[in-house]
Each structure stands twice: as structure tokens, then as C-alpha cells.
Structure 1
Amino acid sequence: MRGTRAPRQLLDVRTIYAEPAALELERGRQVVERWPGAEVVEVPSAQRVQGVHDDASSVDRWVRTKTEVLALGVRKTLTARRNERSANWIAPSTANGCAMACAYCYVPRHKGYANPITVYANIDQVVGYLQRHVARQGAKPGPDQCDPAAWVYDIGENSDASVDAVVSDNVRDLVTAFRAMPTAKASFATKQVNRELLDYDPQGRTRVRFSVMPHRMARLLDVRTSPVAQRVAAVDDFVAAGYEVHLNLSPVVVHEGWLEEWAELLEEIDDVLSPAAKAQAAAEVILLTHNAGLHEVNLGWHPKGEEAIWRPDIQEAKRSQNGMENVRYRARWKKVWLQRLLDLMAEKTPWLTVRYAF
């Protein structure tokens, strides 16, 4: 059934498109060894594989490609990018793409007609860069919406780290590295419950942000993810394992009866989370954005989902922070809808601090 698979069941890798330089690295060899039956095809670039990302017919195999294909490359640019929303910095990605298939995901907007996982094998360079970057920042001068004391680095902007952890040890290495950085904290959003992460011993230096939305809409849009009820139920276990655990109310999709569905979910969250989990929790609230190019791709594999998220009658064009031309809910209505949800949160989950909302 859609949305019920464990992380390892998401992947049945048959082909690995690999840059030669990645195959020379220990992490690259580890990835190949995890799927000994996969065919390894050398390519000049793992980010834009000819016949995969540029082939319009790949849309017909959207989910199958995510299941059977990996790309293996070397991260060329090591740069931490300022964010100041969810995190202070966006760390250099150690993966790009996802085995899950959420209809609204922004990553495929850059990828063409396919979005399998690309994993970067030069993890030692990434970790070394981050250690030096954190050291240069020194102590955080004061609290902000990202964190009261630590510099926060998002390590999963273009992928889901819970699934990346199945492909390689990159996520484990990052959690281990941040454990030794008293002035910094790693952070990633996820829609997958990977209980193997409970053994990583983060010691409070990694923040997991479980993304949630009402169950009915999640069943339609969150394709191949852990059910929302499982994500909510996992919060206490991850807190007990040493993670800081926040919630992403994201994306908020407006439709007939949407606020009533959010009320039910917030009541469920209030019932399930323990006092300890509530005491450390915070939330981000993000209303849906979409993209015309992704809309056209989605029509080829999940048209029913587009009925919910492509709404020209209530959406308008916007240029996002990353420079992309997207669509969002019309500003005058979005402001009203956002406030209604925030008011509902204040009523149903008064303990849940909202770090930022847009």
C-alpha cells in the first residue's frame, strides 16, 4: 500500500550511474557494495544522466526510476548558503533526490523528467568543510528563530536524510560530526521513520523535523512515505534517543474542509506526544508552493494529486528565495489562511512554539 513501506523497502537498485571519481572513493565503493547485483554504468555527471533526467518518457517510470536507479557522484562545490529561516545555513548537500515521491516536492523542479537519489561520495571533504565553517563562526551571539544558542545547518535541503541513510553512511557521519560541535546543530526534515537512526547517538546536536499534514491529504500527496500517524508516534522515541525533534506543518494545502482536518491532526499530536517531547518541540508552518514545470511532469504520473495542488483560481506567480518562478496562494488570502491555522494551533497545541510561518 502507498505510504506503508519501511525505508529499505523503497529501493531495489538495478542500475547505478556513477562518476569514475566517485567509484575511487571509499564511500562510493560502499554504495556499490550495498547493491552487488546492480549494473554500474560510468557517466560524466551523476546530476544529469543522459537518458534518465532528460528523457520525457521517464515520467511514465517516475516511481520505478526512484526504486531501481541510483546516481553516484562527487560534490563539486562546497559552500554553506545563508538561510535564516529554518536554519542559519544550508550545508553542502551529500545527496540530491529521493526514493519517495511527494507530489509537491521542490527538488524535481531542477531535475527534469526523473528524480532518483544522487549520493555524493566525497563525504570526508563535506565534513571537513563544515567543521572549518562552524569554527569560523565562533559562538552564536544571541538567539534567533533558528535556535537560541546554536548555529543550525540544514543537511537535507535536497533529499530526505532518513532515506539517504539507507544508501550510505553519509548521514551517520554527519550526525557524528555535529555531535562534536558544541556551537552548531544539524537539522533535516523527513517524512520517513527510519528507526536505524535511533542508534546514531546525536547527543542533542541534530534536529529532526517530522513533516506532517492531515491524513487524507497525505495519502493523496505523500507518495511512498511513512504514514503521518507513524511520524507522530515516532517523536517520543527520537527524543529519547537524543535528537531534538520539531514538527513541520508542511505543506499546508488549502481545500474545502482543510482547517477542520488540521484541527483533528493537532488534537492527535497533542494526545500522542509526551510532556518531555512537548517541552522541547517547536514548529515551522509552510503553505504550499508549486511550479508550472513540475505540474506538467506530475500530470504524467499523478494527475489526481494535481487536482489538489494546482489551483490557478486561488494561486499567483511568485519568485522564491532560490530564484525560481513558482506559484503560491494569493497573498491577500494566504495571510488570512495562515492566521487561521496559527490561531487553531494556539487553541489545540498551545505548547507548540512556531519558529516561523510563511
Structure 2
Amino acid sequence: MLDAPQLESIDQRARLWRPKRVVITRSAAVLDHGRAIAERAQALGLSVERLSSDRLPFNQPADPRRAYAQAKSTLAVVVAPPGKLKFQPIAPSADWRVDPAEGCPAHCSYCYLAGSLKGPPITRAFANISDILAALPAYLGQGTVTSRSADRAGEGTTFEASCYTDPLAIEHLTGSLSALIAHFGRWDADVQLRFTTKFAAVEPLLGLDHRGRTRMRASLNPAAFARFEGGTSSVADRLVALRRMADAGYRIGLTIAPIIAAEGWEEAYGGLIDAVAERLAGAPPQADLTVELITHRFTPTSKTVLESWYPGSDLDMTDTRRSEKRTRFGAVKHVYDAATMKALRSFFQTTIAARLPQARILYWT
């Protein structure tokens, strides 16, 4: 675990989240990892409230903005419920979803978690990381995205750690991402841990014995759309962090998401890809650069939640240039219409091939 001076040094170079309230449940407090999270918080000068039960005692204000602010400034250290030890498929990213936490301290006005997590948007870190690690072997070779894919078989059985959280955003407090990376490094199997992030504090990860079994992806949007990503590291800092990880032997990737077809998008995304090409020039070949392309979409529920959280946002969530798409569960998503999708896809495929010829596009959605 990093000591206080090391954490302070990192904090001077990167934007580290400092929750206003940290609580730990009774069951989490008796676990080694739970106690370690509490110690990390205290090393940053944060007080830790130890609960007498496993119930989170939060009385949410009636005003949705106040309720949102209170929740987003809270870290709860809890025990992951049994359902979290039964991993779910997470196409098209990976074979399986593994969650070291739920919730994220960033303030993105397009947040994919809005409406998909129950209750207020508190960040919950799971103290029973050893149980999560112990559940992994049962899923080896059992997925359908990379385990049985001719195009991506080289990635092995893949586990996505950033479906319901940004694990790097809270790593200075939890150490959970380091625990996962170290575990995959020791796991002598055809596996890969994957995570994507909008943050840049990679120092705790650089010296880990990862054995090439972890891929970090930087989640990126052009600076022109940075107003939609509050509380995150700058795009420039994320690219620096990505290059540092490549130089440390990690596999790397880009998650360009959500792709926003606002005025001037061609120039904005062209500039972003140029910046990536410049920063990654000469990166080690084992970095194996990949690209994931995800267009902006929203559901009626997420739109309602996001508009209550960010009433002043100018992110376009109207029906303009939108089509309805149904998920396999019958839920409705609003995606760009066919003409807009075609223009976006053609641009990215052509531009990436020309400016990042070493990159593999994993999927478009």
C-alpha cells in the first residue's frame, strides 16, 4: 500500500477524488481489504465512519440536485452481495464482467450508469475482493466474446473491470485494481483483465508484475466535448498515462466514447486521433493498441435521471437524428439514425486506418 507522502505526491500531479464522507459497514470492517481501504482513506486525511450494521443509513434530500451531490461525494466500503460473484457476459467488450466496485466519482452528463444502478449514485467499494478473485477460475474458457472468437481469441478469456465503475478513479482509496492486476499476473492461464478509465493516476500500477495480462484503455473524447466530463483528468493527461502504461509493458487501448455527432465533430475527433498518434509514436509493439468505438445513446430512464442531475447541460438528448433500438431484454435505446451512424463509422474507420495503422478496431456500436 502507498504511504501518505506517496499519495500526496501523486495527488499533486493528478486529480484524486477526496470523498466528503467515507463509511464502512460492519461486515466490511472485519475483512483485510476493507480495513486497508479505511487506512488508505485515513492516510489522505479523511475520516472514516464505522457503521454498527451493514445497512447504509442515508436520508436523501428531496431536491434531486442536493441528493445527487451528497451521494456522489460518498464512498461506502461494503461487502459485495452473492450476485456479484456470479459474473455476467459483457459483450462486445469482454467475456465476463467483474466488479471491484459500483459507482464513479466523475460527473459525466452522459453517464452510462444513470438509471442502471439502484438507489443514489454512491460509490461502493467491495471489501471482499478475495471472494471475487476466488470466483474467477470457474469462468475460464467459458465466454463467447473472446474465448470463442476467431478474431479476438488471442486475448484469451477476458474480464472487464470497468462496467459499473472507473477503477482507476478510486484506486488511491481502494487498491482493488492493483489486487486484480497482480492476481492476473500470477494466474498462469490464457486470460486478460481489461479496464477503461478517464483518469490518469497510474503510478500504483506501473511497477506491478502484470505479465502482459492486463489491458488499460483510455476513455477519450475531444477537448471540445470536455464540458460533458466533469471531475475527470484532462485528455492530455490520460494520453500521457496511457503511454506510461505502454512503456511499463501493459497492453493498451482506446475507448472513444461516447462519440457525439455535434457540430464540428469531424475536426474534433480528427484532432483527437492525431493527438493519440503523436503521444503513442514509438510505443513498444507489445502494447498491441486496440480501439473500441461507442456512439452516444440513452434510454428514457437515463435521460430523465441525467436531466435531473445536470439541468444545465447542453448535451443533445432530443429526437433529432435519432432512432429507437431495442435491447435483447426489450428495453428502448435512442441511438443515432442510420445516416449519421454510417457517416460516423466511415470517418473513424478511414481516419484510424490512416493515422493509427498499428491499431485494431475491436468493435463499433
Runs of 4+ in structure 1 off by over 4 angstroms are 4-8, 42-46, 140-143, 321-324
Please give the alpha-carbon distance, in whole angstroms, between the structure 2 residues aligned to 1:8 and 1:270. 24
Amino acid at match of 2:135: Y
TM-score by length of 2: 0.84
Q: Separation in 2 of the partners of 1:153 and 1:80?
A: 9
1:330 aligned onto 2:337 = yes
Matched to 1:199, the amino acid is G
Contact 1:179–1:202 under 8 Å retained in 2: yes
Aligned to 2:255: 248
Alignment of 1:334-349 (within 5 A): 334-349=341-356
Tell me the residue number matched to 2:111: 105
8 A Cα contact 1:99 1:163, kept in partner: yes
In structure 2, do the counterparts of structure 1 residues 141 and 127 end up closer, same or farther at CA, with 3 Å as the change threshold? closer
Alpha-carbon distance in structure 1 between the residues aligned to 2:111 and 2:22: 24
Give 1:167-182 correspondences, 5 Å limit.
Answer: 167-181=173-187, 182=189
Q: Are residues 136 and 145 of structure 1, via their aligned partners in 2, closer, same or farther at CA, if it must alter by over 3 Å?
A: closer
Is the 1:178–1:185 contact (alpha carbons within 8 Å) kept by the matching residues of 2? Answer: yes
Say which of 146, 152, 159 aligns to 2:158: 152
Distance in structure 2 (CA, Å) of the matches to 1:321 and 1:45: 34
Give the deviation of 1:261 after TM superposition: 0.7
Cα distance in 1, alignment partners of residues 318 and 41 from structure 2: 41
Q: Please give the per-residue CA displacement for 1:117-164, whole angstroms capped at 9, x wherever unaligned.
A: 101111111101113432778xx8765444524211112211011023
Determine helix, strand or coil for the equivalent of 1:300. Answer: helix
The 1:185/1:26 distance shift into structure 2, 3 A limit, reads: same
CA 286–70 in structure 1, closer or farther in 2 if over 3 Å, else same: same
Does residue 281 in structure 1 map to residue 278 in structure 2?
no
Q: Which secondary structure does the structure 2 equivalent of 1:127 belong to?
A: helix
Counterpart CA distance in 1 for 2:329 and 2:191 is 24
Which residue pairs with 1:200 in the alignment?
208
TM-score by length of structure 1 reads 0.86
Q: Which runs of 5+ in 2 are unaligned?
A: 1-10
Distance in 1 between the 2:137 and 2:320 partners? 47
Map Cα deviations across residues 30-73 of structure 1 (whole Å, 9 max, x no partner). Answer: 22333342323455555xx6534xx5525335345323443523
For 2:49, which of 39, 53, 66 is the aligned residue?
Answer: 39
* Aligned residue in 2 for 1:163: 169
Identity, % of aligned positions = 22
Q: Which ranges of structure 1 fall in alignment gaps of 5 or more residues?
A: none
Matched residue of 1:262: which SS?
helix
Q: Does 1:76 align with 2:86?
A: no
How far apart, CA to CA, are the structure 2 residues paired with 1:283 and 1:255? Answer: 21
1:189 to 177, 196, 202: 196
